[in-house]
Chains A and B, each alone.
Chain A
Amino acid sequence: MPREYVDGATAVARGALRAGCTFFAGYPISPATPILLHMLRELPKVGGVGIQAEDEIAAISMCIGAAMTGARAMTATSGPGISLYSENLGLAIMGEVPLVIVDVMRMGPATGGATTIAQGDVQFVRWGTSGGYPIIALAPSSVPECYTLVQRAFDLAERFRSPVFLLPDKELIMSMSTVDIAEYVDVPVGQRPLVPPVPAGNGAQNGRINAVTGRPDPRLRPEETYLPYDFDPIDAVPPTSPFGGPHITRFTGSSHDEHGFLTKDPVKVGRLNEHLRAKIENHRHELEFGLLNRAAATGVLFVGYGTTARAMREAGDRARKAGLPVSDLTLHTLWPVPERLILEATAGQRRVVIGELNHGQYALELERVLYRHAAQNGLKPPEIVSIQRVDGNLITPEQFLAEIGNF
């Protein structure tokens, strides 16, 4: 099978274009700049638009505006940029905007190390908005996974009308590696639910409801009217219609009713906010992606994501070759936490070893999931070992192997 020698930035750009991305706005920042440059150069070739914005705040703002015209929008940055994205991350959650945000993780805090690898944004992207509402985040651990998971990010962004993070790191995006071309796997990319051009049922009655007033309006033709935030059941994704499309549409970042009007009615506000949670959390089992290599027997489970998962899988292979009961789990979904996958992989294990280039951010999630599960089921939880590294070097396979213990 032919191979390529290529970096992750190229794979992210290719995957985005394959997923139908038509809009990109970004601001130069190491190590995400190669994605910006690819998208600025390539998007016009498919009739799309790319722009270097005046700052990160404008970059995500432009993406949100573009997304509401129907564009599939993406932006790419690193930790300092995510800091500036925070307020508009909240807007994208509240307004229910399909948007892919690539955070190429580098060392923090603040400027940190511009070209130094880290994985310190994991909890930051989850809790990056005021109110603490959920997002979706995927972490590739190879160049082909950059290609595949950015397509999945677009699919989920569209179908859930939600910001979706892709969390690669400096090493994946900027390093070259050999890729077996057969490993570029395409993912079908769905579309945000759209309001049909003409409402179903009795058009004369239903069709003249003014989306803005909620009252019959003889000035409007039926195809111009709909309720932009009408979700039922509570975890359903409300159908939308793009600016410039067949309907008049309203978008808002304030607490709103089904018309998109500001409201403080506790019943409506409560239902909206519960909807924003439920639309992701109630569907968490559709969002569990990962790769489990199982040993013949249970004993130890290694867990990793991103570049760290590469050392972890090498360690897992070496341990199994030595006859040790070591399985390894690469997490492709980080948010929402793929609890079913984690519980399946940890069942019967005595020890769980997770390695991360931060101070144990995801170890916290393992502790939460495993301790709660054990408490609820009267079980003894596995011992959780957190390997942490924040010096700019990679976690080595030997660091995982050293935590196996005696067998």
Chain B
Amino acid sequence: MAIALEPALKPLTTYKNERPDPFCPGCGHTFILNHLDAALTKLQLDPRQVVLVTDIGCVGLSDQYFVTNAFHGLHGRSVAYATGIKLANPDLKVIVMMGDGGLGIGGTHILNAARRNIGITVLVFNNFNFGMTGGEHSVTTPMGMITASTRAGNLENPLDICATVAVNGAGYVYRGTSFDRDLPDRIAEAIAYEGFALLDIWELCTAYFVVNNDFGRKELMATLETIGMQAGLIQKREVREYARGLRAQGAQVFGQPTLPLRPIEPLFPARLDRKFHLIIAGSAGAKVRSAAQATGYAGVLSGLWVTQADDYPTTVKSGHSVSELIFSPEEIRYTGISKPDALVLLSEDGLGKVRHHLAAMTPEDVLVTTPEFADVPTRARKLILNPQVGSVRITRTNRSLIVTAAALRHLDLFPIAALSEAVRRFQPRFADENLPVIEASAALLPDR
């Protein structure tokens, strides 16, 4: 490879490029970038294995001054981008540089990155206001401070991000200032740390916060003393890093087949020469969809084309559950049902959703239901079945299947053996319970 022709990479004396920093005179950002440079130089990481992630605000410009990979995204989302980068390539050192503005708008991402302990380093350039847009207050502005948007003094309590992430899973948490002499060492320590590291670095915005509040280095240090937030190294503990943890979990199933095809060869003869629409209407939690799915599989096992659309409320275990099945000897395109050929009515919940169908049905169609619904108005022929007459004890969950199975015996779209085979093959966990129910369904029908 061409690498052999090149001289070996010399130790880097800086990770910054030749571009001059863009920030205002005295801006804390310049100091912190130099501290980050010192930290990277100390660690001597391969620049290709480092990704600096920024978002919006003055600090969002910062990635342009380094000779590493860079990702410049949208306001407050830097931690989410960094999470994706780290998850996809856990070997990378991913360093986020964000302001207190990004901290506010991206709060949920930071909280969740900390909870996961994903291995990224977050440097919060915290100057208590939005510098780029004109000095408005942020989530970290101390009480009483004057900003463009708090002219009479800030009434909002400042966010203690260190305390927040520390109690919510972060591995490494530090609070300091851009004036700290040991900041390069702290940043290097955080980058070298495997898990989630957050450094809240207080600094001066000379364009706005300093001017609005007569707030210099002395005042910044005094605020740090009096504000009631912990400073220095707040937390450092060994906890499993998330990206590698997720990979380790995944390794246990690596190589297993993914969603293999489940081919079905027809085993039973269908007795259908036209499109047939069947609706099963009952209550959620009563295994209506399960009975419908077995019915669908039975159709496919009989060489039919089948579609099945289920309707149920978002509460899943209460309210209605209605399954619409279409069977056809030919491929089915339109999957709607304007009028069913047969309707299995199982409960009051189901009745509420199918009244319009009952009204549309004709004497050629059949309503299969239980004695309590014997009087529902419809022109459809009625087949009233008593589920209790079979040899199995009827419960809330097997009632749907026994009535559906009896209806299928009556409709004779395919042999009832197809339904049993469908249950055996596609619902094996419930086969022991359900096969006797299908068997017992014969007794529900009047003698023919």
**Hey, which bits of chain A sit against chain B, CB under 8 A?**
2-6, 10, 13-14, 17, 22-23, 25, 30, 38, 42-49, 51, 53-55, 57-58, 61-71, 73, 87-88, 90-91, 114-115, 171, 174-178, 180-181, 184, 197-198, 203, 210, 212-213, 215, 217, 219-224, 243-254, 260-262, 307, 310-311, 313-314, 317, 393-394, 396-398
Contact = CB atoms under 8 A, between A and B. Distances in A.
Contacts of A48: 250
Contacts of B19: 212-213
What are the 4 tightest A-B residue pairs by CB atom distance, in nearest-first order?
A65-B84, A44-B250, A62-B84, A61-B80
Nearest to A47: B254
B446 interface: no
A244 B258 contact: no
B287 to A, nearest CB: 16
Interface of B: 1-3, 5-6, 9-10, 12, 17-19, 47-49, 51, 53, 61, 63-64, 66-74, 77, 80-89, 91-92, 108-109, 111-112, 243, 246-247, 249-259, 261-265, 293, 296-297, 299-300, 304-312, 314, 331-336, 338
Contacts of B82: 65
Contact of B258 (A45, A88, A178, A184): A45
A249 B310 CA distance: 48
A281 to B, nearest CB: 25
Given A219-B12, A224-B47, A176 B84 contact: no
B107 to A, nearest CB: 10
26 contacts: A2-B264, A4-B262, A23-B87, A30-B314, A45-B253, A49-B243, A51-B246, A57-B80, A58-B77, A62-B83, A65-B81, A69-B88, A115-B312, A174-B309, A175-B310, A177-B305, A177-B306, A178-B305, A217-B67, A221-B3, A223-B2, A248-B68, A250-B70, A262-B64, A262-B72, A394-B336
Nearest to A397: B334
Given A45-B254, A222-B6, A212 B85 contact: no
B253 A55 contact: no
A291 to B, nearest CB: 12
A17 B88 contact: no
A91 B307 contact: no
Given A215-B18, A243-B89, 11 more contacts: A5-B262, A14-B259, A44-B249, A47-B254, A61-B84, A175-B335, A181-B263, A217-B67, A221-B6, A249-B69, A311-B334
A396 B258 CA distance: 36
Given A212-B67, A261-B64, A244 B253 contact: no
A311 B259 CA distance: 29
A25 B265 CA distance: 36
Contacts of B88: 22-23, 49, 65-66, 69-71, 73
Name B's interface SS.
mixed
Contacts of B299: 178
A396 B51 contact: no
A313 B331 CA distance: 12
Contacts of A38: 259
A249 B67 CA distance: 9
Given A3-B300, A30-B314, A176-B307, A43 B250 contact: yes
Nearest to B52: A250
Contacts of B108: 54-55, 58
A68 B338 contact: no
A198 B309 CA distance: 55
Contacts of B308: 175-177
Contacts of B338: 396, 398
Nearest to A180: B331
Contacts of B86: 65
Given A49-B250, A53-B80, A219-B10, A62 B87 contact: yes
Residue from the set A5, A6, A53, A87 with the largest chain B CB neighbour count within 10 Å: A5
Contact of A181 (B66, B74, B251, B261): B261
B300 A178 contact: yes
B47 A244 contact: no
Contacts of B253: 44-45
A3 B263 contact: yes
B250 A314 contact: no
Contact of B300 (A5, A212, A221, A311): A5
Contacts of B256: 45
A76 to B, nearest CB: 15
